Structure 1
Amino acid sequence: MERMCKIQEVKARQVLDSRGNPTVEVEIKTRKYSAVASVPSGASTGTYEAAELRDNDKAYRGKGVKKAVGNVNKIIAPKLIGMDAGDQRNIDKTMKELDGTENKSRLGANAILGCSIACARLAARCNGIPLYAYLGETFGYEPNVLPVPAMNVINGGKHAGNALDIQEHMILPVETKNFAEALQMGTEVYHVLKERILKQYGKSATNVGDEGGYAPPLAETKEAFELIAEAIEEAGYTKKVKPGFDAAASEFYDGKNYIINNKLYSSEELVDFYEDLIKT
């Protein structure tokens, strides 16, 4: 980065996320600019994910993040003040060294990530460039393809009250001219899917789950993908929109096998099962 973005202030606070749970918000300032970042949190957590730091007391049923907020304000902030917000690698390295654990459990991944994202946004703003351009320049990657939106259209697992084991059943518009067209395709498939669910399962089945996808009373994973395939075809995008998923497989792993629809799968068998699903 060409312009020095000297950090003058770092402040964290506790805010609520879209689920109504506390999360960490970090604001970082230079003399002229400021940037804010709040940290996302999932309903399910992978076995090897970095560790969120929660308060585990009475407030917010144990989900408060005042400890993580305090770690930003008292431990991380003094180290970051005076640093260049554009020196992303050094900022991230400094915070990881301060934490000193493999999974960031001392300071909390929610404390570290909030600071990292806020610094990135601040550096991009200081240099008058989009965030994606700043990140590409920083890490030596020149993007030449727009991201493909992965739209979560049927919810299962911890995201819904149905019996589906896979958590996110998605659609991906892969053959498009631009992002606007991809968004249009995905939205049209989403609304066709609603009509099909309404017709087959009734009005209550069109209620949405934790992340905005429909949560119909399905038990069979394959049935969800068949619904999606039918909606894609009816919308006229058979070759342009593909099915996808985020399984959150650690949620149906018993320590030895993966359990889907009351059937046991080894790791190799699960991969085969996944491959069959996306061919639906």
Structure 2
Amino acid sequence: MTIIENIVGRVAVLRGGRYSVEVDVITTSGFGRFAAPVDDNPQLYIAEAHRAVSEVDEIIGPELIGFDASEQELIDSYLWEIDGTEDFSHIGANTALAVSVAVAKAAASVKKMPLYSYIGGTFTTELPVPLLEVMQGEDFDYYVLVRDIMEITDVVDAAVNLLEVVEKPSLEELSRASEKVGSELGLEVTLGIVQKKPLPIEEVLSTVEDHNVSYIKPMGDEDLFLELIAGTHGVFVDGEYLFQRKGILDRRYYNALSIKPINLGTLTDLYNLVSDVKSERITPILAEARYESADEALPHIALGLRCPAIILGKDSVAKLNELNRIAEDLGERGRLITFEG
């Protein structure tokens, strides 16, 4: 049975020594657990995490006991009602996400289904391609992407080989090395770059055009995005900067959008945004937050929502291993699609 009998919160430690809330959802015959990540608040002290635990134990938990965990949309909408604000500023987006994902995990466990299949259904077979962080530089953070990927481990092999020949985060060196590594592995190995500070439009354009770059997350105004879309071919231009700051969701400005679940609140909110992104013919890419636990749900959510790619940090071993397990679970049904901009 999927009727919720108890909800328990506790403090969870994230990478980087940050704190968040972990939630257990117990049904009559199922169990779900999720530790929420934290993105842009490096000063989340343990007192804040304890406050979130109190919200779960004293307010949210008692309200949700007796609900059916399979009624995801109903529970997620009730979390908004409990919060009473427009942005989860009362109970916190991380608390809402922890409860929401734990509820889905509990319902999936009752049905003895993997989380990705519970979220996405029978025909969920297209594995998200990993963009794996390799280095951090002054102007950009650098990721490795295998465009003609055959196995999840192809990305790991490419990243390891890249780091063996490049010691410092230089775009020129990484570009040359990625082409060399790709030739040695028989794969199309390319770079992803995330802009960290404003740069002249011409410099950003030349950076993409003159190097082995297939993905960029720019930082700038609309003109930069328009120039990148017009001046590049086969490159993913990620519009997170415009979307977060100006609410722009428009294919004319960008063709990809990285989405961090922590910025949305609940699984239902995440599903709705991914659907809106797809309706604009923009590629949704699920992304880790800055501070994550070792929880393995993110690959399941990306696959269940049919996001073609997933952005992972260089220390995201648990999520990479889980993605590999999912590929094994799907067997011949599983497909890794060529990731083209």
Q: Which has the larger radius of gyration?
A: 1
Post-superposition Cα deviations, 1:162-207, rounded to whole Å, max 9, x if no partner, equal x23x3x4212223133xxx232x22222122222223xxxxxxxxx
What does residue 133 of structure 1 align with?
117
Deviation at 1:93, TM superposition (A): 0.7
Contact 1:189–1:231 (Cα < 8 Å) also in 2? no
The alignment status of 1:170 with 2:116, answered yes or no, reads: no
Q: Distance in 2 between matches of 1:246 and 1:68?
A: 32
Q: Distance in 2 between matches of 1:111 and 1:53?
A: 16
Q: 2:79 aligns with which of 84, 87, 95?
A: 95
Q: Distance in 2 between matches of 1:53 and 1:155?
A: 22
Q: Which has the higher contact order (CA 8 A, sep 6+)?
A: 2
Q: 1:190 aligns with which of 133, 144, 159?
A: 159
Give 3-state SS (helix, strand or coil) of 2:112's partner.
coil
The alignment status of 1:231 with 2:228, answered yes or no, reads: no
Give 3-state SS (helix, strand or coil) of 1:65's partner.
helix
Contact 1:53–1:68 (Cα < 8 Å) also in 2? no
Give 3-state SS (helix, strand or coil) of 2:48's partner.
coil
What does residue 339 of structure 2 align with?
none
The alignment status of 1:71 with 2:41, answered yes or no, reads: no
Q: Distance in 2 between matches of 1:66 and 1:238?
A: 50
The alignment status of 1:148 with 2:129, answered yes or no, reads: yes
RMSD across aligned positions (CA): 3.1
What is the TM-score with the length of structure 1 in the denominator? 0.67
The 1:104/1:238 distance shift into structure 2, 3 A limit, reads farther
What does residue 206 of structure 1 align with?
none
Give 3-state SS (helix, strand or coil) of 2:15's partner.
coil
The 1:102/1:7 distance shift into structure 2, 3 A limit, reads same
* Structure 2: segments with no counterpart, 5+ residues: 204-218, 237-341
Deviation at 1:113, TM superposition (A): 0.5
Q: Distance in 1 between matches of 2:186 and 2:29?
A: 50
The 1:40/1:227 distance shift into structure 2, 3 A limit, reads farther
Q: Distance in 2 between matches of 1:22 and 1:260?
A: 37
Q: Distance in 2 between matches of 1:126 and 1:273?
A: 47
The 1:88/1:74 distance shift into structure 2, 3 A limit, reads same
Q: Distance in 2 between matches of 1:10 and 1:113?
A: 14
Q: How many residues align?
A: 216
Q: Distance in 2 between matches of 1:119 and 1:271?
A: 41
The alignment status of 1:241 with 2:189, answered yes or no, reads: yes
More strand per residue? 2
Q: Distance in 2 between matches of 1:243 and 1:271?
A: 21
Q: 1:266 aligns with which of 221, 229, 242?
A: 221
Contact 2:134–2:163 (Cα < 8 Å) also in 1? no
1:246-257 to 2 correspondences below 5 Å: 246-247=194-195, 252=197
Deviation at 1:85, TM superposition (A): 1.0
Give 3-state SS (helix, strand or coil) of 1:27's partner.
strand
Q: 1:119 aligns with which of 94, 98, 103?
A: 103
Contact 1:171–1:244 (Cα < 8 Å) also in 2? yes
Contact 2:32–2:102 (Cα < 8 Å) also in 1? yes
What does residue 159 of structure 1 align with?
none
Q: Which moved more, 1:228-237 or 1:25-34?
A: 228-237
The residue type equivalent to 1:146 in the other structure is L
% identical equivalent positions: 27
What is the TM-score with the length of structure 2 in the denominator? 0.56
Deviation at 1:64, TM superposition (A): 3.3
Q: Distance in 2 between matches of 1:18 and 1:53?
A: 14
Q: 2:21 aligns with which of 21, 24, 32?
A: 24
Contact 1:53–1:65 (Cα < 8 Å) also in 2? no
Contact 2:25–2:33 (Cα < 8 Å) also in 1? yes
Give 3-state SS (helix, strand or coil) of 1:98's partner.
helix
Q: Distance in 2 between matches of 1:76 and 1:241?
A: 46
Deviation at 1:81, TM superposition (A): 0.7
Q: Distance in 2 between matches of 1:245 and 1:116?
A: 32
